Amino acid sequence: MLVLGIDSSTQSTKALVVDADNGAVVAEAKASHPNGTEVDPAVWWEAAQNAIAEVVAKSPGRIEAVSVGGQQHGMVALDSSGEPVRDALLWNDTRSAPQAEELIERHGAEALATRTGLVPVASFTITKLAWLAQHEPDNADRVAQVLLPHDWLGWQLAGRPEQSWTDHGDASGTGYYSPTTGEWLPELLTEAMGGRTPELPKLLGPNAEAARATLPGIEGATIGVGTGDNMAAALGLGLKPGDVVVSLGTSGAVFAPAEKPSADRTGIVAGFCDATGRYLPLVCTLNAARVLSSTAHMLDTDLEGLSRLALAAEPGSGGLSLLPYLEGERTPNLPEATGTLAGLTGANMTPQNLARAAVEGMLCGMADAIDALRDTGAEVRRVLLIGGAARSEAVQAIAPGLFGVDVDIPEPAEYVAIGAAKQAAWARSGSAEPPEWEVAGTRRAVGDDTSGAAVRAAYAAAREQVHGI
Ligand SMILES: Nc1ncnc2c1ncn2[C@@H]1O[C@H](COP(=O)(O)OP(=O)(O)O)[C@@H](O)[C@H]1O
Ligand SMILES: O=C(CO)[C@@H](O)[C@H](O)COP(=O)(O)O
């Protein structure tokens, strides 16, 4: 049986046709998204249609089921005719930072963590809806229904039926859902929206068949419930206790499987649900892969050139530390921050040191995230490194020293789309647990650095000096 997995993430849509018997990828296609932190959802739909048409043309047979893993938290606010009232505000849009603070002032961080698993930051959907209510009340008045990016795409695939749906994993990133009861908290949504009461999608279980596809090429295929991109990656990797994923896409996301919901009152660890009926505590930064592409651009080289330069420098980058808050930052919560290059001298100001400082700075944020997960009780036996920037040789060589734990690199692949495909196969089979597909070609990374603690200490000192934290 062939199934289709779709990853609609920040920078692109990827579509994979997968053999449900063994998880082998038999066809793939990709379509780009525009840059920016607010986007007309129509561009995701166009990218999805293009990627699906391409992959269907390459597919050796009929596709029986499809599922979508989507970038988390994006606000897709629809009017009564199902049209977006404005462009979607994405997870990396920081304009709603004041609304996050207001929510915390009103309810208290601990109470919100207990109730929703989250302490609000600008990324979470609830803060975006509060921003909409305060800054665009006319648009807010027209909102009949609020969806997340993956909900909206699944609904499009089904021909926009009357009833929309979502899963518990993506719902847990909204700020108006309770991971402990598994239900919406509509009163929080209504309060954030100044008394307005938009509808929410129906919550479905992880292996539900949500609808049937109407899109030409996959008509009649089972549509799985879909999920957030990180939950889909976790499902695709088939995580075991002790596995921690560091996903280096547009965001840097660090997560581990858990049997119980979590409530971190510091707000560093978000208490998400996963795509299997369990939990996925997660730490996320706004600055990962693009730190490397921006630095490569500055140094007038490409990503391979950046990697070569970084590996030609000594660990510690000759005393340079980059705080890579190029898009503001979410963890730590510094939405207005910009990046800082600390420790410059005439002697250390080389392209090699700058390149290495970019890799080290991005990975120091990930190392802090691993520590934060550990502090909330996660077992950290090994790290699995995935996402676009995990393809960088420099990242693979520098991560083990900074993380201080074994780092495994699964063969580069689109694990979000693989997880979505697995969910599709699960929905089609109706079995109690998802299919077990082997993750091919995982190898242990060999670090080039034994002075990771010193590099992290220099990074922490620069952060303390610039941001006081
Ligand atoms: N070899 C590489 N070295 C560093 N970065 C890379 C490499 N290959 C891809 N990337 C980066 O990975 C990012 C895309 O990763 P991806 O996980 O698909 O992101 P997203 O899921 O956020 O759309 C791009 O920013 C791209 O520049
Ligand atoms: O906001 C989060 C997680 O909380 C991000 O991880 C988004 O889900 C976007 O992911 P990528 O596009 O970087 O994969």
Ligand 1, CB cutoff 6 Å, lining residues: 9-12, 249-250, 289-290, 292-293, 303, 387-389, 391-392
User: In terms of Cα–Cα distance, which of 324, 282, 328 is closest to 90?
Assistant: 328
- The predicted model gives 389-402 an average pLDDT of 98
- Asked if residue 73 belongs to a known ligand binding site, the reply is yes
Kindly give the distance from the C-alpha atom of residue 253 to the centroid of ligand 2, in angstroms, as a whole number: 7
pLDDT tens track for 257-300: 999 999 999 999 999 999 999 999 999 999 999 999 999 999 99
332: cis peptide before it, omega within 30°?
yes
Query: Active site includes 93?
Result: no
- The structure tokens 């499809």 sit at 66
Closest residue by CA, ligand 1 atom 3: 392
Confidence at residue 88, expressed as pLDDT on a 0 to 100 scale: 98
Give the active site residue among 7, 229, 264, 274: 229
> Quick check: pTM over 0.95?
yes
CB distance 400 to 460 below 8 Å: no
Residue 197: partners with Cβ closer than 8 Å, 6 or more residues away: 186, 189, 190
CA 304 to mean position of chain CA atoms: 24
CA max distance for the chain: 65
* Beta carbons within 8 Å of 450's beta carbon, 6+ residues apart: 315, 401
For residue 430, name the pLDDT band (cuts at 50, 70, 90). confident
Is 73's C-beta closer than 6 angstroms to any atom of ligand 2? Answer: yes
Using the atom order of ligand 1, give the atom closest to the CA of residue 11.
23
Give the per-residue pLDDT at 450: 83
Average pLDDT over residues 122-140: 98
Which ligand has the minimum distance to the alpha carbon of residue 11? 1
- Angstrom distance (rounded) from CA 363 to CA 373: 15
Position in ligand 2 atom list of the atom nearest CA 9: 12
Q: What are the CA-CA distances from residue 37 to residues 90, 282, 364, 416, 451 (Å)? A: 5, 21, 25, 21, 37
For this complex, say whether ipTM is above 0.90: yes
From the list 258, 278, 238, 256, the residue with the least C-alpha distance to 382 is 256
- pLDDT score of 451: 86
For 303-361, what is each residue's pLDDT tens digit?
A: 999 999 999 999 999 999 999 999 999 999 999 999 999 999 999 999 999 999 999 99
- In sequence order, the β-bridge partners of residue 247 are 253, 386
293 Cα: distance to centroid of ligand 1 (angstroms) = 8
Phi, psi dihedrals of residue 179, rounded to the nearest 5° = -65, -20
d(CA 387, CA 250): 9
- Quick one: average pLDDT of 34-42? 97
Distance CA 273, CA 277 (A): 7
**Separation CA 5–CA 13 (nearest Å):** 10
> Residue 387 contacts by C-beta under 8 Å, 6 or more apart in sequence?
246, 247, 248, 249, 253, 288, 289
Count CB atoms within 10 A of the CB of residue 4: 32
Residues 6+ apart with CB under 8 A from 364: 321, 402, 455, 456, 459, 460
For residue 253, what is the enclosing H or E element?
strand 252-255
Is the beta carbon of 94 within 6 A of some atom in ligand 2?
no
Q: For 234, which DSSP code? A: H
What pLDDT score does 159 carry? 98
Q: Is 49 annotated as a binding residue?
A: no
Map out the domains of the chain with their CATH numbers: 2-229 (3.30.420.40), 239-405+439-469 (3.30.420.40)
pLDDT at 104: 98
Query: Is the Cβ atom of 99 under 6 angstroms away from ligand 2?
Result: no
The share of the chain scoring above pLDDT 90, in percent, equals: 99
